[in-house]
Structure 1
Amino acid sequence: MNIANHDVAAGSPQDRLARLGIVIPPPPPPIANFLTHVREGNLLFLSGQGPRETDGHLHSGKVGADVSVAEAYAHARLTGINLIAVMQAALGDLRRVKRVIKLLGMVNGIADFADHPSVINGCSDLFIEVFGERGHHARSAVGMASLPGNITVEIEAVISILD
């Protein structure tokens, strides 16, 4: 299937991003000894990203204590934008995204926090807004005792791509 025929009626991912007022930043650099993505065949594996602003600021704190579910949802959405930035850098054209296959969302929550799915919906909702039906995915949303830099969320993804 060629890229031009794969766009859905509502426009390309770039069109949807523009309508949402989202400008894709450069992809965040890795914070340790790993790659931001690895392609194997028609799969693109995206390393975990966090809620990094374009100025480098990382949102941190424990969800359920110093960070509300609504704030953490926004952090997961920002993390989704950073994942899209990695996709854009890896693929050159977001129309090459055939399908978002799987997300793993990790929430830095207090011990009795139980609303992880509502937080990770920030990324899931964004992917559906940007990629339409191709953005629907399998997902895990889990709690962690801590995350690097005490960030609120970390999300990784597996993407199927078109050549």
Structure 2
Amino acid sequence: MSPHHRIAALDLELLPAPTPIGTFRNVLQVGNILYVSGQGPLDADGILHKGKVGRDVSVEMAYQHARLTGLNILSVLAEHLGDLKRVKRFVKLLGFVNATQDFQDHPRVINGCSDFLVEVFGEDGVHARSAIGVASLPNNITVEVEAIVEILPEGNSNG
């Protein structure tokens, strides 16, 4: 099953790729490696999920925000590649959690993104990862995730 079919099977659809909020690109390609700039939990209605995890937002809700962030990463990749079948594998994620000073469940939150990528790409979605807490994130978003992705050359695809 293609990544697009797996996304549809999860009752989801790709969103328009978010516009960068600064002087940078959503994706920078170097050879067959894509560097995806940090994405956040922007939903289909244009709502950016905000708050401090551990105070305003539960771990479970932040997990869902990280999952949504994974969908936004795929939207950015689809816009850049034209077809998610060109994704060979996810190499690394760096996840940031806007958390209270005593919060300790950063990995559980960022698992929302990691679990989603595995649901869509199977073993090719498994990656190296860091999950850290920060005092704040742009626009007070709950999570931000950046990705490094290996792709197949143009004209090749997985499945």
Q: Residue 88 of structure 1 aligns with which residue?
A: 78
Deviation readout 1:54-108 (Å, 9 max, x if unpaired): 2221111100001000000000000000000001001111010000000000000
Deviation readout 1:7-54 (Å, 9 max, x if unpaired): xxxx11111111111110110000111100000000000000000112
Q: Residue 156 of structure 2 aligns with which residue?
A: none
> Of the candidates 50, 75, 99, which is equivalent to residue 60 of structure 1?
50
State the identity %. Answer: 59
- Would you say 1:33 and 2:23 are equivalent positions? yes
Q: Residue 50 of structure 1 aligns with which residue?
A: 40
Q: Which runs of 5+ in 2 are unaligned?
A: 154-159
Q: Between Structure 1 and Structure 2, how many residues are aligned?
A: 153
Q: Which runs of 5+ in 1 are unaligned?
A: 1-10
The root-mean-square deviation of aligned C-alpha atoms, in Å, is 0.6
Q: TM-score, normalised by structure 1?
A: 0.93
- Would you say 1:119 and 2:116 are equivalent positions? no
Q: Residue 7 of structure 1 aligns with which residue?
A: none
Separation of aligned partners in 1, 2:42 and 2:6: 22
Separation of aligned partners in 2, 1:82 and 1:15: 16
Q: TM-score, normalised by structure 2?
A: 0.95
